[in-house]
């Protein structure tokens, strides 16, 4: 697991460097280690090296890893599409959900979140490029959904998430992230908390950081090829 430790140090240094390059504070960007399809041994290796935030796309895989890492004080983020029949176990075990795009899903999470765990942190997923194959709400639907989610008692609306179309050019990559940032700013102007922008992955996180990302989701660069 030496590779995981070395990769983690390199990635965190790079995120701090890029934040400063973008005229932000070096600690402004958090690494979310995407551990899907990687063994729990790699999660534990990253945790031993100081990583605390981990993201899973599949509920059952995530639950297994959460169970095997209890006592490590890790923070678990659900970053996949959430089916209605899986909301209870997510509400009971995860700390964040990044992919909310329906009020009924948010309501179920709020109703099923154990009060003793504190509020479940929520990001709303925006379909910034209008892709029919991807989840997420349209920008026009965001204000109403955000206002409704913010009122749910056991949820904490934290911000927005997006998965834009892959773009190769740096300036082109910045454009959808800039739009998401402006949406978050608009919500703040209306009194809603949006301190989190979950945007940027291995191929475009530099552009995301330039546009204000606070969480970047990186898997393969940290853990290597998925099994």
Tens digits of per-residue pLDDT, 168-190?
999 999 999 999 999 999 999 99
Domains located in the chain, CATH noted: 2-223 (3.20.20.10)
- Please list, in sequence order, all residues whose beta carbon lies within 8 angstroms of the beta carbon of residue 147, skipping any fewer than 6 positions away: 190, 192
Over range 8-27, report the average pLDDT.
Answer: 97
- Please list, in sequence order, all residues whose beta carbon lies within 8 angstroms of the beta carbon of residue 213, skipping any fewer than 6 positions away: 29, 177, 197, 198, 199, 200, 205
Q: How confident is the model at residue 2 (pLDDT cuts 50, 70, 90)?
A: low
DSSP 77: E
Give the pLDDT score at 130: 87
Over range 119-144, report the average pLDDT.
Answer: 94
Q: What DSSP assignment string belongs to 157-218?
A: EEEEEE-PPP--SHHHHHHHHHHHHHHHHHHHHTT----EEE---TTTHHHHHHTT-SEEEE
Whole-number Cα distances in Å, 65 to 43, 157, 183: 8, 25, 34
How high is the mean pLDDT of the chain?
96
DSSP 225: S
Phi and psi, residue 55, nearest 5°: -120, 135
Over range 68-75, report the average pLDDT.
Answer: 96
Q: Which of 80, 184, 204, 81 is nearest to 142 (CA)?
A: 184
Q: How many Å apart are CA 168 and CA 122, to the nearest integer?
A: 29
Q: How many Å apart are CA 85 and CA 82, to the nearest integer?
A: 8
Give the pLDDT score at 97: 98
Q: How confident is the model at residue 136 (pLDDT cuts 50, 70, 90)?
A: very high
Over range 88-114, report the average pLDDT.
Answer: 98
Whole-number Cα distances in Å, 28 to 8, 68, 125: 17, 30, 21
Over range 80-109, report the average pLDDT.
Answer: 97
pLDDT at 1 > cutoff 60: no
Over range 31-50, report the average pLDDT.
Answer: 96
Give the pLDDT score at 225: 85
Question: How many Cβ atoms are within 10 Å of 167's Cβ, its own excluded?
Answer: 16
């Amino acid at each position: 697991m030496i590779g995981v430790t070395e990769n983690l140090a390199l990635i965190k240094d790079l995120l701090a460097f890029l934040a400063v390059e973008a005229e932000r504070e070096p600690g402004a960007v958090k690494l979310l280690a995407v551990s899907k399809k990687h063994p729990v041994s790699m999660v534990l290796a990253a945790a031993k090296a100081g990583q605390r935030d981990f993201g899973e796309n599949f509920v059952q895989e995530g639950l297994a890893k959460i169970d095997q890492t209890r006592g490590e004080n890790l923070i678990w983020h659900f970053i996949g599409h959430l089916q209605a029949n899986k909301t209870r176990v997510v509400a009971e075990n995860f700390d964040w959900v990044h992919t909310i795009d329906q009020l009924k899903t948010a309501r179920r999470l709020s109703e099923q979140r154990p009060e003793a765990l504190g509020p479940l942190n929520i990001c709303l997923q925006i379909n910034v490029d209008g892709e029919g194959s991807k989840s997420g709400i349209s920008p026009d639907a965001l204000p109403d959904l955000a206002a409704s989610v913010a009122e749910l008692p056991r949820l904490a609306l934290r911000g927005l998430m997006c998965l834009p179309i892959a773009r190769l050019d740096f300036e082109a990559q910045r454009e959808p992230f800039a739009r998401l940032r402006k949406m978050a700013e608009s919500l703040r102007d209306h009194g809603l908390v949006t301190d989190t922008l979950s945007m940027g992955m291995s191929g475009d996180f530099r552009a995301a950081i330039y546009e204000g990302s606070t969480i970047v989701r990186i898997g393969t660069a940290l853990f290597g090829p998925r099994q």
